[in-house]
Chain A
């Protein structure tokens, strides 16, 4: 069995969000500043009380599971918390109204600001193309609510009343929940993050980003939360074995698909599903929005991934193993393939080395 951990390390360095993160952080800060400057005027224009928001990073950016996008469009999630009650504040009946105020405060900041169902999105363009966007999730702050819970403003401009709602939401607790099991275990925590990134990149390589075609990143993160087990090539030195860990997770996911039979227009049809319930409120199934056929494709592609990873695992030759991993529908061409010569070099061990032992 070839050891491809070095290649996994290089691959991970390639795909993880790094320098781009600082640009994103700059944009985030500019947006924060803009909102602070413009919101008082917006509220005044509408004869409403001036609400001063608080900000909080969210999503993969905050969790440290972000990857570089294949299509080049980076994103960052930002929580914006307003001290307004979801029961009796100005925006209690219509959360979209508050999103409109945010939209108004940012209008003209870039060419492209729009209200989407779970957020307000600010798009940045370069040479006429969208290069990244900032998703602003708008909240009614827990301190303003009698149940001491944050609520997310849901709904779009053209949504009917039924789709305009304050939804219980707990993103900060989500991160704690994901990482609690690794609180004292850095090697495992790091590998957990790496494996999530591999899965996300696999997703980007295998699914189009239209609609609900692809499993969402948060869904893959939940699957990893459920199925990831740290794997080491040496249990004493904690040298990671990312290939085994990734295969372990993929196996878990493939084995977690189940069949359900439904009556559809008088016909009994059996479909395959996988679930990823948020371990915090609103405890929804992230994969629920994927259609049956999208699910089927998800399962098929996962099985293909499993087969490829198993093949790589049993491959003795490092070069061959890397070739399997670097293919289009596995981890992609970012995965490095070493030359035959490089893998043939035998490292000569030193005759004298340092030691940290003392009696």
Chain B
């Protein structure tokens, strides 16, 4: 913004008293504009500084309090006395009205400061506590412990550079996808520590960055509510465990908006007295920032009481469709995944497979495991580089130990066998997904044990002529596609990757709905693509393709066949 533009805005601001005695601050560097003035808060006039970024009015102005202001020690007043009155996300500005944007910002800031003065928003301290704590901390630890409502003992594994707070060495190993010996080697120092959980509703005014950090007394006073909840035994235990020359404590402050704010304190006590013990007052304490990498903090929530992370899923086939399914499942929080595939990554897969060219020549299943481990902490992936039949024969896979079986093989012969194993014998839900040639569409079918409707139903037409024709198919029956199938070794399949990912989306949705128990019936979902290329190559579409998407969705529960040898005799539900 140019100075003359700023002067126009200044004139506009002078038409009312939202910013009194406003004037341009001279000699500000670059294209940044600073305006000083006074605002009224509950009858008091206080001086503020407005800073307009070069991209103003497409960004909100920054509002600062004067140093030493009586308002500086309030919630939402951050480092350098900046007033945090609005998050930058979720708003849209009309750049044609710069003065109005400033008035709006001032109004919001005044409310924040007035509420702070009255104590109306002090609960917000807990929400933002980690931000304030970060200002005063010069070192950090990484937390892997899921915070619970009760104080408990934990361990710290560290070396010169990094520290991990965890329940056990195994947790660190799983997180880093390393084995335990390697973790011990890398982080040779193990310390006992504790997380002290403060009661809900505790308000703590954070330490200020421009003042010396708390003394032991202050810390003790502030976290006393947490100590009060401990039994004598616990108190002794937690204090004693740190009964050494130095140590680290972590505090969990419940946030009004849910969850906890975590902050740490390290201490050095030359006499070996814990800061909270009777003679611990002489200990030196330092704030430590707690980096949140624990599963309960970073894993997506499943939208139900049962966490996806505790479910076990078997994925058979990690080709184009299966690759996307594996990724989306883990992204949705499904952490225990067993991937079975006997194929190797080849050049033909490159442009439709989620792994791209990086794993060429390597087995698909273990490539998938390595890729998922690389991308996602806490992912617990087992890879089996054989066919599913072989894996079952070798005793590596038992269907009944899984909460859901998913097949993305695109090989109906094997899948009819899988279907029977899962729904008839192992009594486990099974989900199938496949794409059709040349972009005409894809399907996802969920079968539940004990309920009519399974994969074999698609190959159980009442008309014996059609016994081998997939009833859900979009391609007309009895046509040989060979190289047009995206699963085959053809290099240029139109929309190959897009078809696979659209199908994987349907499958993942169904998988999650099955895992959460939201979907207890079987279901057939299909998406229709563009048939132009398919028809150009003189193939024929099925009647099913020619009906509307609404109609397809409408009949999603109606795919069971009374002629099905697997589920046909089950009662109707």
Contact = CB atoms under 8 A, between A and B. Distances in A.
Interface of A: 3, 184-188, 233-239, 346-350, 352-359
A238 B542 CA distance: 9
Interface in B466-487: 466-475, 477-481, 485-487
Given A187-B543, A236-B524, A357 B411 contact: yes
Interface of B: 317, 319-322, 408-412, 433-437, 458, 461-475, 477-481, 485-488, 524, 542-544, 546-551, 555, 558-559, 561
B479 A358 contact: no
A346 B464 contact: yes
Given A236-B524, A238-B544, A356 B411 contact: no
A357 B434 contact: yes
Contacts of B466: 237
Given A356-B475, A358-B486, 14 more contacts: A184-B548, A186-B547, A187-B543, A188-B551, A235-B555, A236-B471, A236-B559, A237-B461, A237-B544, A349-B467, A357-B473, A358-B434, A358-B437, A359-B317
B435 to A, nearest CB: 5
A358 B415 CA distance: 12
A234 B461 contact: yes
B549 to A, nearest CB: 8
Given A187-B543, A347-B465, A357 B470 contact: yes
Closest 7 CB pairs of A and B: A359-B410, A358-B487, A353-B468, A186-B546, A184-B548, A349-B467, A356-B475
A239 B550 CA distance: 18
20 contacts: A184-B551, A186-B543, A186-B546, A187-B547, A188-B547, A234-B462, A234-B471, A236-B555, A236-B558, A349-B465, A353-B477, A354-B477, A354-B479, A355-B470, A358-B410, A358-B437, A359-B322, A359-B408, A359-B409, A359-B411
Nearest to A187: B543
Nearest to B482: A354
B481 A356 contact: yes
Contacts of A237: 461, 466, 471, 542-544
A358 B462 contact: no
B interface majority secondary structure: loop
A239 B470 CA distance: 13
A354 B481 contact: yes
B496 to A, nearest CB: 9
A187 B321 CA distance: 30
B321 A359 contact: yes
A213 B458 CA distance: 49
Contact of B546 (A185, A233, A347): A185
A358 B481 CA distance: 11
Contacts of B408: 359
A163 B242 CA distance: 110
Contacts of A355: 412, 470
Contacts of A238: 542-544, 546-547
Nearest to B479: A354
Contacts of A188: 547, 551
B440 to A, nearest CB: 9
B520 to A, nearest CB: 21
B547 A185 contact: yes
A356 B482 CA distance: 9
A359 B468 contact: no
B331 to A, nearest CB: 20
A240 to B, nearest CB: 8
B463 A185 contact: no
Given A185-B551, A347-B465, A358-B486, A353 B559 contact: no
Contacts of A358: 410, 434-437, 485-488
Contacts of B485: 356-358
A234 B457 CA distance: 12
A349 B464 contact: yes
A108 to B, nearest CB: 48
A357 B412 contact: yes
A185 B528 CA distance: 13
A352 B412 CA distance: 12
Contacts of A347: 464-465
Nearest to B554: A235
A235 B547 contact: no
A40 to B, nearest CB: 46
B546 A354 contact: no
Contacts of A349: 464-465, 467-468
A173 B220 CA distance: 84
Contacts of B465: 347, 349
A350 B468 contact: yes
Contacts of B477: 353-354
Nearest to A348: B464
A236 B443 CA distance: 13
B329 to A, nearest CB: 16
A347 B463 CA distance: 9
Contact of B319 (A184, A186, A234, A359): A359
Contact of A356 (B409, B461, B479, B550): B479
Contacts of A350: 467-468
B318 to A, nearest CB: 9
Residue of A349, A355, A358 most packed against chain B (CB within 10 A): A358
A235 B485 CA distance: 26
A350 B434 CA distance: 23
A233 B433 CA distance: 25
